[in-house]
C-alpha cells in the first residue's frame, strides 16, 4: 500500500525499495508534483491551523484572499490534482507590503496574474484556460524569445521566464515542466508569494511593478537554504483583448541574480528592497544635511 506522501524524500525512499514497479515510478512523478503544485504541508491539522490564521488576518487587517477563480468547478481537468493554496495564501498575507482595496486596478491585475499562473501550473487542458487568448498569446521575458500558448503549456512558466538566464546558472532548454517545478518549489516549500506593487497604465496595455518573495528553507540543485528572505522585483507589461484575456505577457527582471542567490553566490541583501529595479546607489555618494 502506498502511504500518503508528505515530501519528495519520502517518495524517493519508497521507490528505491520497489525499483521494478513502473506503477510506483509513476506515483513518484505525480506525487512529487502534487506536493510542489500546492505549496505547503499536506498534513490536514497544519492546513486547518493555516486556515484559522488566514481568517484571523483577514478579519483583523481587512485582507482579501487572492481570487484564482472557482477551483471547485467539477469540469476542470487537473494536471495532477486540485491545488490547495491555504499555506500559499497565508504566506502571501504575512509577507506582502501592499493591501490593495477591493475593486482597485491593482487588485484586479494581481488576481488576473494569480489566476493565469494557477491555470498554467495546474490545468491539464490548454483549452480550459480562461485568462488567455490562445490564438494570439505570446509570453516573453526580458525581450527574449516569444513563446506561444502551446509552448508555454508544454514547458511551464518557469522555463520561459528563465529562458534568457546564463546557461551555467540555469539551462532552460535542458529542463521541462516537471523538473522546473521541482527545482523552484522545492526551494520554497512554504510558498513563493507574489504581489503587484504599482500599476502605471490601465487596459488594454497594463504596466505594473511586482515583488516575489519567500523564505529559502528548502533546497535548490544541491544548495540548502537557511531560512533567509529572498526578494525578487521586476516589471511587467501585458496586453489585453476586448474580452480582458491576455494577448501578450512581457516580464522584466534579473533571473541570473535570483539563481545566484539560491546557489549562495550572492547575499540576499543584494536583491532586497527593489535594488534590481532602482539600483543599489553610488557607493561614493553620502547624504549630507540640507542647507535649505
CATH number at residue 238: 3.10.450.50
* Domain-embedded: residue 33: yes
* Domain-embedded: residue 288: no
**Checking DSSP bridges between strand 138-141 and strand 246-252, what pairing results, if any?**
parallel
Do 21 and 127 fall within a single domain? no
Domain range for 33 is 1-37
Q: Enumerate residue ranges in the chain where pLDDT < 70.
A: 1-43, 280-292
Do 148 and 90 fall within a single domain? yes
* Domain-embedded: residue 283: no
* Domain-embedded: residue 291: no
Predicted pLDDT of residue 279: 75
Do 167 and 32 fall within a single domain? no
Do 29 and 45 fall within a single domain? no
* Domain-embedded: residue 254: yes
* Domain-embedded: residue 292: no
Counting the structural domains of the chain, the total is: 2
Do 13 and 124 fall within a single domain? no
Closest CA to 143 of 248, 241, 261, 270: 248
Do 48 and 160 fall within a single domain? yes
Q: What are the tens digits of pLDDT across the range 213-236?
A: 999 999 999 999 999 999 999 999
Do 33 and 66 fall within a single domain? no
Do 18 and 144 fall within a single domain? no
Q: What are the tens digits of pLDDT across the range 69-127?
A: 999 999 999 999 999 999 999 999 999 999 999 999 999 999 999 999 999 999 999 99
What are 194's strand-pairing partners? 212
CB 192 within 8 A of CB 42: no
Do 206 and 238 fall within a single domain? yes
Predicted pLDDT of residue 275: 78
Q: What is the DSSP secondary-structure string of 142-162?
A: TT---EEHHHHHHH-HHHHHT
Do 49 and 6 fall within a single domain? no
**CA dihedral sign of residues 78, 108, 88, 149:** positive
CB 215 within 8 A of CB 226: no
* Domain-embedded: residue 284: no
Do 166 and 249 fall within a single domain? yes
Distance CA 109, CA 240 (A): 11
Do 106 and 3 fall within a single domain? no
* Domain-embedded: residue 286: no
Amino acid at each position: 500500500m502506498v502511504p500518503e506522501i508528505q515530501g519528495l524524500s519520502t517518495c524517493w525512499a519508497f521507490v528505491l525499495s520497489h525499483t521494478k514497479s513502473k506503477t510506483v515510478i509513476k506515483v513518484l512523478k505525480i506525487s512529487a508534483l502534487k506536493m510542489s503544485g500546492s505549496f505547503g504541508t499536506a498534513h490536514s491539522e497544519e492546513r486547518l491551523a493555516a486556515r484559522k490564521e488566514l481568517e484571523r488576518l483577514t478579519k483583523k487587517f481587512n485582507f482579501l484572499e487572492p481570487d484564482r477563480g472557482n477551483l471547485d468547478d467539477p469540469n476542470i481537468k487537473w494536471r495532477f490534482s486540485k491545488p490547495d493554496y491555504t499555506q500559499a495564501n497565508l504566506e502571501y498575507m504575512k509577507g506582502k507590503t501592499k493591501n490593495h482595496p477591493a475593486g482597485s486596478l491593482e487588485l484586479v491585475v494581481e488576481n488576473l496574474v494569480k489566476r493565469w499562473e494557477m491555470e498554467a501550473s495546474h490545468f491539464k487542458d490548454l483549452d480550459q484556460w480562461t485568462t488567455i487568448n490562445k490564438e494570439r498569446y505570446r509570453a516573453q521575458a526580458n525581450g527574449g524569445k516569444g513563446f506561444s500558448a502551446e509552448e508555454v503549456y508544454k514547458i511551464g512558466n518557469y522555463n520561459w521566464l528563465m529562458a534568457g538566464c546564463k546557461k551555467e546558472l540555469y539551462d532552460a532548454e535542458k529542463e521541462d515542466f516537471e523538473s522546473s517545478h521541482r527545482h523552484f518549489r522545492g526551494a520554497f516549500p512554504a510558498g513563493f508569494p507574489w504581489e503587484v506593487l504599482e500599476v502605471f497604465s490601465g487596459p488594454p496595455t497594463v504596466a505594473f511593478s511586482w515583488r516575489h518573495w519567500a523564505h529559502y528553507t528548502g533546497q535548490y540543485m544541491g544548495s540548502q537554504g537557511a531560512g533567509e528572505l529572498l526578494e525578487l522585483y521586476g516589471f511587467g507589461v501585458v496586453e489585453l483583448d476586448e474580452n480582458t484575456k491576455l494577448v501578450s505577457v512581457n516580464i522584466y527582471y534579473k533571473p541570473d541574480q535570483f539563481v545566484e542567490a539560491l546557489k549562495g553566490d550572492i547575499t540576499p541583501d543584494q536583491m532586497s528592497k527593489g535594488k534590481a529595479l532602482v539600483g543599489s546607489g553610488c557607493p561614493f555618494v553620502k547624504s549630507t544635511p540640507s542647507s535649505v
